[in-house]
């Protein structure tokens, strides 16, 4: 009986079938309308939108702890934030070079960054 379930599962994976978003009936993947209930199918990929980030919070994070890259983590620019953090920590307090570099970078970020990493404008 286990072989039957495995074969049935494999057979189901091979077919181009999906389920209607409205009634749950099994339909072809290419169907635009469900043949059972007539509901239009959304064949595009589902995107989940996050709430837009606030520009004021971004700027305040940049002003107070920007040399650590926290404002970029907030906006979703994780690689940039990590780079700023590493520059500050590794070059850091040696002659203030790391802090100076990231401080200038923070000023540029405050002026030029107007959207998060997903392309959603700040509010």
The more confident residue out of 104 and 32 is 104
pLDDT at 64: 96
pLDDT at 46: 47
Q: Compute the radius of gyration of the chain from its Cα atoms.
A: 25
| Number of domains composing the chain | 2
pLDDT exceeds 90 at position 116: yes
Same domain, 76 and 38: no
Range with the poorest average pLDDT among 6-20, 29-43, 74-88: 6-20
Mean pLDDT of the chain: 83
Residue 19 lies in a domain: yes
Residue 121 lies in a domain: no
Same domain, 66 and 107: yes
Mean pLDDT along residues 93-97: 78
The answer to whether residues 47 and 30 touch, using CB atoms and an 8 Å cutoff, is no
pLDDT at 12: 47
- Domain range enclosing 67: 55-112
Q: Is 76 left (phi over 0), alpha (psi -120 to 50) or beta?
A: left
The answer to whether residues 77 and 117 touch, using CB atoms and an 8 Å cutoff, is yes
Residue 60 lies in a domain: yes
């Amino acid at each position: 009986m286990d072989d039957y379930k495995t074969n049935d599962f494999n057979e189901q994976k091979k077919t181009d079938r999906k389920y209607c978003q409205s009634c749950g009936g099994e339909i072809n993947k290419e169907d635009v309308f469900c043949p059972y209930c007539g509901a239009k199918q959304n064949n595009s990929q589902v995107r989940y939108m996050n709430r837009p980030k606030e520009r004021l919070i971004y700027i305040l994070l940049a002003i107070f702890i920007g040399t650590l890259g926290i404002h970029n983590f907030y906006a979703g620019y994780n690689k940039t934030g990590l780079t700023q953090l590493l520059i500050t920590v590794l070059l850091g307090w040696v002659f203030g070079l790391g802090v100076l570099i990231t401080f200038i970078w923070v000023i540029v970020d405050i002026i030029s960054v107007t959207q998060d990493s997903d392309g959603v404008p700040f509010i």
